Amino acid sequence: MANLNITIFSLVEGKELHETLTLNKRGELSGRIPRWLQVSKDDLYDEVLKIGETVSRNVFEPVEDDILPEGEWIAEKGGQGTSEQPDGRSKGETDPKRLQFMQRQPKFLFGVRGMNSGFRRYYGFVFPDKIIFENDQIANAVYFVRWEEPLPCEPDRAMPRAIRRKVIVENIKPFLGLSKKEILEKGAARVIHPPNEDKLWEEKMSQLVTG
């Protein structure tokens, strides 16, 4: 197993900062933790492990374009500024169950991840009738884009990689690199997550995914 380089991005006072650390073969995290990150090395190590457990190479196809990169965003009338989940938790806190939930859905085919997205981490979850863009960071909504026609796929069978790449080029590519505002203008639906403490969270999200 080779060393894993981890690049952390953050927007501080309007300026994008980044720092690269290394996870070596022995599982040791080395590098300088910048002050602007405001987390300990142990917290960062735990976060890297959670991402590794959630994002399987066999499930996600890499794409060069960013997925829903930061861009111009106008809060909806009556909204809470630019925050998309005003539930009291700070933006940047993660909720791994969001990604795990999507992967457990019965009709989930495969996922896409941006190779250059850093920790902004919107992921695409492909279904026969739609793609869902989800983010495990709090204060980010989920975005639904429906296909004009259902994808060619066989029930209960994994989609071959050649077909995955074809779907990426023909169906997903037009939505990659778009900001949240731009993808809404192209017809995507934006949904705020149910509160995390809601006991019916999974049931409500399942209704959205299967609807």
The pLDDT assigned to 175 comes to 96
pLDDT for res 186: 95
Query: Which pLDDT value is given to residue 183?
Result: 95
Distant-in-sequence contacts of 147-156, Cβ < 8 A, 24+ apart: 147/171, 151/109, 151/126, 153/109, 153/128
Q: Which pLDDT score, from 0 to 100, does residue 78 have?
A: 33
| pTM value > 0.75 | no
Per-residue pLDDT of the chain (211 residues; tens, 9 = 90+): 567 787 887 778 888 888 888 877 666 778 888 888 877 877 777 777 666 655 555 788 989 888 988 765 554 433 333 445 444 455 557 787 888 899 889 899 999 988 766 555 799 999 999 999 999 888 889 999 999 999 988 766 778 889 999 999 999 999 999 999 999 999 999 999 887 767 788 888 899 898 8
Q: What is the 3-state secondary structure (H, E, C) of 120-167?
A: CCEEEEEECCEEEEEECECCCCEEEEECCCCCCCCCCCCCCHHHHHHH
